[in-house]
Amino acid sequence: MIYIIIVLLVIIIIMLMLYNIVINKRIKSYQNINQKVTSLNVLQDFMGTVGEDSSVDDKIVKINNILIEQYAIKYSTIVVFDGTEYVIKASNVDKKHWDTLRNLQNEEIFKDSITTAKPKYITVNTEEERLPYQKMEFGRAKSAMFFPLYIDNVYIGYWIIESGRMHAFDNVDTTILEVVKENIISIFKIVSYQNIVESIARQDLYSDLKTSEYLYEEGRKIIDKYTTSTVCMFKITNLEETNIEFNRDTGNQMIIDVCDYIKSKLSEEYLFVRYMGPKFAIVFSGIEIDGVVDFLKDLKKEVEALQVEDVVAEEENENSKSGKKKKVRMTSPKLNFILTTYYKGTALETILKKLEEYLDTAKADENDINNI
The overall pTM is greater than 0.75: no
Q: In the chain, what is the straight-line distance between the N-terminal and C-terminal CA atoms, in Å?
A: 100
Judged by DSSP in three states, 219 sits in helix
Q: What is the pLDDT of residues 73-91, one digit of tens each?
A: 899 999 988 777 888 999 9
Nearest one of 328, 323, 333 to 367, comparing CA atoms: 333
In the predicted model, what is the mean pLDDT of residues 347-369?
89
Asked whether the predicted pLDDT for residue 30 surpasses 50, the reply is no
Measure CA 81 to chain center. 16
* b/e code 39-74 from CB counts within 10 Å (16+ = b): beebbebbeebbeeeebbeebbbbbbebbbeebebb
pLDDT at 81: 86
Whole-Å CA distances, 370 to 28, 175, 233? 67, 58, 10
C-alpha–C-alpha distance, residues 257 and 206, integer Å: 10
Q: At what angle do helices 56-70 and 174-200 cross, to 10 degrees?
A: 160
Look at 5-9, 153-157, 221-225, 278-282 and tell me which has the smallest mean pLDDT: 5-9
Report residue 205: phi and psi, to 5°.
Answer: -65, -50
pLDDT at 29: 45
Q: Residue 156: is it exposed, middle or buried by C-beta count within 10 angstroms (0-12/13-18/19+)?
A: middle
What is the CB neighbour count within 10 angstroms for residue 204? 16
Bridge-based pairing of strands 228-236 and 210-211 is: unpaired
Measure CA 75 to chain center. 24
C-alpha–C-alpha distance, residues 360 and 283, integer Å: 19
Judged by DSSP in three states, 40 sits in helix
Asked whether the predicted pLDDT for residue 217 surpasses 70, the reply is yes
